[in-house]
Structure formats: C-alpha cells, structure tokens
Structure 1
Amino acid sequence: MRPTLALLALLALSPLTGCASDGQPWVELKGQRFVVEVADDHDERARGLMFRDQLPEGAGMLFVHDAERPLAYWMKNTRIPLDIFYFDASRKLVSVSRGVPACSLGDRCPPYPSDGPALYVLELNAGQANALGVAPGDTITFGPGIPERGAP
C-alpha cells in the first residue's frame, strides 16, 4: 500500500513541479513569461497571427528573422489588437509599437516599423507593453528550443 501512496503523491505533485509552459517554447520579458509560437521561416512569418479571433492571455508569437535589419510589420487580416516588440541580435528591445489595432483593409493596412535594426519580433496582446513597463534596452530571455540567429 505504501508504494501506491507514494506514487499517487508524486503524480499529484507533478503539475506543481512542471514548467508553466508545459514544454512549449517561451520567452521572458521584465520577469513575465509568455508561451510563444515560433515563426522562423518565410511562410510562418508571412502568416503570423492572421485570421485569429483571440490570443490567450500569457501567449504570443515570436518571429525569428534570418538577418538583423530594419523591419516593419503590418496587421493585414489580423483581428486582434497587438503590441509589437522589436529586438536586436543581442535580444535588446529596439522599439515597441503599442496598441496596434486590428486591420481588415488587406494590402492597405499601414506598416509599423522598428526604430532600428531588429532580428526578433514578439507580438503580444495589446496593453502588455504598458503593463510590463518596457523601455528600449530591455532584454528578452529565450527558453529552450527557440532558434537563435544573433549574439546571445
């Protein structure tokens, strides 16, 4: 009977000891962890968060580019207002576009450019930048499994 009780105790405690992201890729910004989908090829980056009606709280999408350069994102066919964070190869915040509205204008949706060269772009629900109090120079931390293309 004792081994069974010990096994049950371990099973009961396992959710408490596991990672909050349950093995999914994650990033951390200003002490807050976000589970992310990773878009690291052309097709995934082009599709992004298009046609989605919601983004769960605590979740986002991380875009990994092939080279550091000035970037501009737009909200074509995106139904969710977002904050768009641009990070350089050292994973330092270059700039953020806050509260970018959804856009259904297709190719007429306006671009939201970075203030300098960027390699990584993080999209989170609108309001997160203000809630976190981010500022240029803040660093993003990557969890396991996220491809790195620049200097860590």
Structure 2
Amino acid sequence: MKKAIAYLLIALCFYNCKEDKKVIKQTEIHFTKEGELTIHKIATDSTKISLDIEIADTEYDIQTGLMYRNSMEQKQGMLFVFEDETERYFYMKNTKIPLDIIYINSNKQIVSFQKNAKPFDESSLPSNAPAKYVLELNAGLADNWGLSVGDSLSF
C-alpha cells in the first residue's frame, strides 16, 4: 500500500510539474519599400546599381533591423540612418538570412564591409571606420556587384 501511495505521489508530482508549452507563432515581417537607393561604382562612371530600400531610422527599427525575416529579394536592402557618424557595431542576433553589411560615411561613400554575416551569430561586426549609414543586403551581393570602398550611394 505504501508503494502504491508513493507511486501515486510521484505520478501526481510529474503531472503537476509538467510544463505547459505554449507555441508562440512569430508574425512574419515583410519588406516595405520606403525609398530607392543607387550605388555608383567608383571604377566606372556609368555603372549604377539600383535597389528598393526599407529605412531603419527610429530606435526600434534600428534595434530590430532585419531580425525575424525569412527572406529578402535580390534588389532589396535595409538602410540604417543614424544621427551621428561614428564606428558602428552590428550583429546577427535573431537574423535568419545571411547578409552583407556595408558601412557608409556621411559623404555617402562606402568605408568598409562585413561580408557573408552568418545567421544568428552574435559576434560583433565592426565598421572599422566612422559610419553614418549602414546598408544590409543579401550575402554575396557585394562581391557579385563588385562593390568596393569608395563607391558612393544616392538615396
């Protein structure tokens, strides 16, 4: 009888200690075109690359960036706009897609890159130079388009 009561108590304990797992579905975030951006290649005066951009210029948008996105089209990007020009540090927390991170100074010239940033990696990805803007693109595009330090942007 004591064994039966002990088993019953153990069973009740496991039943009551059972964690009710609630599934929280993440709302899918879609691209919202807020502007257009053109990259002007320094090597050739005629080569221009145009893309649609979503702008991150509020504290919330800057902190969230491209987190929780499942994909982004080839001719889309997110432009981060800061009030000051200083060295920037980005990371890939909660970011599902690999990215090229392009750091841009106040003259709208590319000053550095962090290419092929890995999804969910929380390592610091510094600009290594003062930047006022940051452009995030799908990983590999900076190389595919032959972007280099000194190329300029207009938006």
1:90 correspondence with 2:103: no
Q: Secondary structure at the match of 1:78?
A: coil
For the residue of structure 2 that corresponds to 1:46, the secondary structure is: helix
Partner Cα distance (1:117, 1:131) in 2: 25
Unaligned segments of structure 2, at least 5 residues: 1-32, 42-47
Shift, 1:68, TM fit: 0.3
Could you say what the CA RMSD is over the residues aligned between the two structures, in angstroms?
A: 1.2
Instruction: Determine the C-alpha separation between the residues in 1 that align with 2:112 and 2:78.
Output: 17
CA distance in 2, matches of 1:72, 1:129: 19
Distance in 2, Cα, partners of 1:35 & 1:119: 19
Displacement, 1:24?
A: 4.3
Report the count of equivalent residues.
116
Task: Return structure 1 stretches of 4+ with deviation > 4 angstroms.
Answer: none
Q: Does 2:87 match 1:59? A: no
Q: Does 1:76 align with 2:93?
A: yes
Q: Point out the structure with max Rg over C-alpha.
A: 2
Can you give the 5+ residue segments of structure 1 that lack an aligned partner in the other structure? 1-22, 143-152
Asked which structure has the greater RCO (Cα within 8 Å, sep 6+), the reply is 1
Contact 2:34 2:55 in 1 (8 A): no
Once the two structures are superposed, the pairs formed by residues 3-152 of structure 1 within 5 Å of their partners are: 24-29=34-39, 30=41, 31-103=48-120, 109-142=122-155
Aligned residues: percent identity?
37
Q: TM-score, normalised by structure 2?
A: 0.72
Paired AA for residue 38 in structure 2: E
